[in-house]
Amino acid sequence: MTALITLEGVNKYYGDYHALRDIDLTIDEGEFFSLLGPSGCGKTTLLRTIAGFESVSSGLVAIGGKDMAGVPANLRPTNMVFQSYAIFPHLSVAENVAFGLRKRSDLNKQAKQVLVDDALDMVGLDGYGGRAAHALSGGQRQRVALARALILKPKVLLLDEPLSALDKKMREQMQVELMRLQRHVGITFILVTHDQEEALVMSDRIAVMFEGRIGQLADAETLYRRPRNRQVAEFIGKMNFLEADVTAMGDAISLQVQGLGGLQITPEQSPEVRETGAAVVGIRPETLGILFEGETTDRKLAEGVVDEVVYYGDMTYYDVRITGVEKPLNIAMKNIIGQPVLDVGAPAQVIWDERSLVLLK
Ligand code: ATP
């Protein structure tokens, strides 16, 4: 992969407020990259500094090897799709898309029409050109905004929460379509989102941001399975936390875990913790299970009592209080034919496996 965008030591102040703090980042050509984080963490500011809508207070932003200092947004090889779509309701779909070509005096009407048709086809709006833009659904409007941005063939498409105004079903559909579209056009997409599921589904890599800094930059699976610290683990999905005492560090890491006793894990399961002493162990709810009557397992067991049951149809979420731990463990179980749903107060044997644990600071 070739680096397309490089940020080095980027800081941004709004008055006294330090919105971006020492951001170092490389984004590759053709990558689907997401900036993920809670409200106010600086992800939109970072996107806008790449777009050229914000200047940096210090540091370097380079695109295609060129320093972008002083280069205005309209002269950068980027294009932005906004959350609000910003389409013109009084124009037709085709006119909205052609708006992206307004400065291309080198193209005649016919050539523009070909590009508009191609762009509409690309976003699944083939044949919609003559429709009035105000008569479109939210998902269709978003497609028009995408077509208008892509018609200029930018090197980078910047997407600021593009799906947040859509309902859940349409959002899920558009996630898959955006992925397909990105593969088809092959350009770099940078997505800003506060929705961790959206980022996990679509991205090659994700930068998780907190308070103006990048907390972790990794692919979806690494972020989910090996979060670097508790803050990232809490932001991405659900995680149970148990107090631990690390007694030996080396090729195998030995620890005592509250409620689970003594066990060993591998160094890969400890992305940041390098020292013995107090730490925290993280366990995802779906890596735990409950042993039902008549079943056997070669995994480890902990005795517990059901504290809460939430039935979702395909899944049941249990809170189970295990001996020696104050906070119940959240367990996500797929509902299988023939398996009962336990009641609150029922005894439960919790199945766990040290391979699914991650050691955190
Ligand atoms: P959200 O998801 O809520 O949009 P975000 O992570 O995108 O959040 P930013 O919009 O980048 O956050 O804002 C980061 C911080 O910088 C916020 O505290 C915000 O109030 C502040 N900020 C953003 N733009 C300005 C501005 N023009 N002037 C002053 N402060 C600003």
Residue 207 · residue 33 · CB < 8 Å: yes
Residue 261: CB atoms within 10 A of its CB come to: 11
Q: Whose CA is nearest to atom 3 of ligand 1?
A: 39
What mean pLDDT do residues 216-231 have? 95
pLDDT at 292: 92
16 lines ligand 1 (CB under 6 A): no
Domain covering 3-225 assigned CATH 3.40.50.300 in the classification: yes
- Whether the per-residue pLDDT at 108 is higher than 90: the answer is no
Average pLDDT for the chain: 93
What are the extents of the domains in the chain? 3-225, 238-361
Where does the pLDDT of residue 327 fall: very low under 50, low under 70, confident under 90, or very high at 90 and above?
very high
Ligand 1 atom closest to Cα of residue 15: 29
Q: Whose CA is nearest to atom 10 of ligand 1?
A: 44
Residue from 23, 34, 45 to probe ligand 1 pocket by mutation (most atoms less than 8 Å from CB): 45
pLDDT at 85: 66
pLDDT at 272: 93
36 lines ligand 1 (CB under 6 A): no
CATH number for the domain running over 238-361: 2.40.50.140
Residue from 44, 193, 196 to probe ligand 1 pocket by mutation (most atoms less than 8 Å from CB): 44
